[in-house]
Chain A
Amino acid sequence: DTAVSQTPKYLVTQMGNDKSIKCEQNLGHDTMYWYKQDSKKFLKIMFSYNNKELIINETVPNRFSPKSPDKAHLNLHINSLELGDSAVYFCASSQELAGQTGTQYFGPGTRLTVL
C-alpha cells in the first residue's frame, strides 16, 4: 500500500488554465504538507495543515489554494497558471507530538509543466 499518494503524476497545461493536484495519505498522520521543487531541484515548503487547519502558508501567491476535506487528504488548486509555476510538487505527511518534530514522508511528486 502506498503511504502518500498523489495524482496526477504528470500534468501538462496551458498558461491561464486552472488545475488541481490531489494527495492522500494512509499513515493516519495529522499533518500534511505541500512542497515545491523548482528546476534547480530546490525544495521549499508551501503549506502545512494540521487536522484540516492551515498552519503554515509560506507567502505563496493566492492563486494557490490548498484544501483539506479531512486529515487524510490535502489537495492543491492552482488558478491562472503561469510559466513560473512549472515545477514538481510534493505532498508529505507527518505525525507531530508536542515538543518533538515528526518525520515527514513524501509522495512521489507531480510534475507540472505550463506551456
Chain B
Amino acid sequence: AQSVTQPDIHITVSEGASLELRCNYSYGATPYLFWYVQSPGQGLQLLLKYFSGDTLVQGIKGFEAEFKRSQSSFNLRKPSVHWSDAAEYFCAVGLNYGGATNKLIFGTGTLLAVQP
C-alpha cells in the first residue's frame, strides 16, 4: 500500500541555520510528490512539487527538495531558516485516478520550531 513516512515529529533549529526535513514514500510507480506547509491556525500552502524531470525542485520561500528514487526519498531543504518558517510541514504522494481525480496520501507531519 502507498504510504508516506516523516520520521521526525518535531525539529528545532536556530534562526539562520540550515534545515532538512525527511520524507520517505512507498509507491510502486513514478510518484507525484508534494510538500505543503501549515502555519498555526492556517490552511495548507503548497511549497513545491515533483512530477518528473530535474530531481532537484525549487519552491517558494527559498525551499528546495530533492527526489531520490533509489532511496524513495523527497527531503525538503532550506539553507537558512527564518523565524517565520516555524510551522508544520507535510509531505504527500499523489495517486492519480485516471484523469478524474487524485488522492493525496500525507505523512504525519514535522513540526518545525525556530529559536532565536
Instruction: Give per-residue flags for B90-102: 1 if the beta carbon is below 8 A from chain A beta carbons, else 0.
Output: 1000111111111
Shortest Cβ distance from A18 into chain B, in angstroms?
A: 25
Instruction: Give per-residue flags for A67-84: 1 if the beta carbon is below 8 A from chain B beta carbons, else 0.
Output: 000000000000000000
B51 touches A101 (CB 8 A): yes
Shortest Cβ distance from B79 into chain A, in angstroms?
A: 25
A55 touches B43 (CB 8 A): no
| B contacts with A: majority SS | strand
**A113 close to B (CB within 8 Å):** no
| A contacts with B: majority SS | strand
**B17 close to A (CB within 8 Å):** no
User: Beyond A103-B46, A105-B46, A108-B42, is A96–B102 a contact (Cβ under 8 Å)?
Assistant: yes
How far is A63 from B108 in the complex, measured between Cα atoms in Å?
26
Shortest Cβ distance from A115 into chain B, in angstroms?
A: 20
User: Beyond A90-B43, A108-B42, A108-B43, is A103–B34 a contact (Cβ under 8 Å)?
Assistant: yes
Count residues on chain A whose CB falls below 8 Å from chain B CBs.
Answer: 33
A43 touches B96 (CB 8 A): no
B108 touches A48 (CB 8 A): no
User: Beyond A90-B43, A105-B46, A107-B43, is A42–B100 a contact (Cβ under 8 Å)?
Assistant: no
Q: Which residues of A contact B45 (CB under 8 A)?
A: 106
User: Beyond A50-B100, A99-B99, is A41–B51 a contact (Cβ under 8 Å)?
Assistant: no
User: Beyond A42-B108, A94-B102, is A101–B96 a contact (Cβ under 8 Å)?
Assistant: yes
Residues of B that sit less than 8 Å from A by CB? 32, 34, 36, 38, 42-46, 49, 51, 88, 90, 94-104, 106, 108-109
New A-B contacts (4) at CB < 8 Å, excluding given A45-B104, A106-B43: A4-B43, A98-B98, A101-B96, A106-B36
Residues of A that sit less than 8 Å from B by CB? 4, 31, 33, 35, 40-45, 48-50, 53, 55-56, 90, 92, 94, 96-109
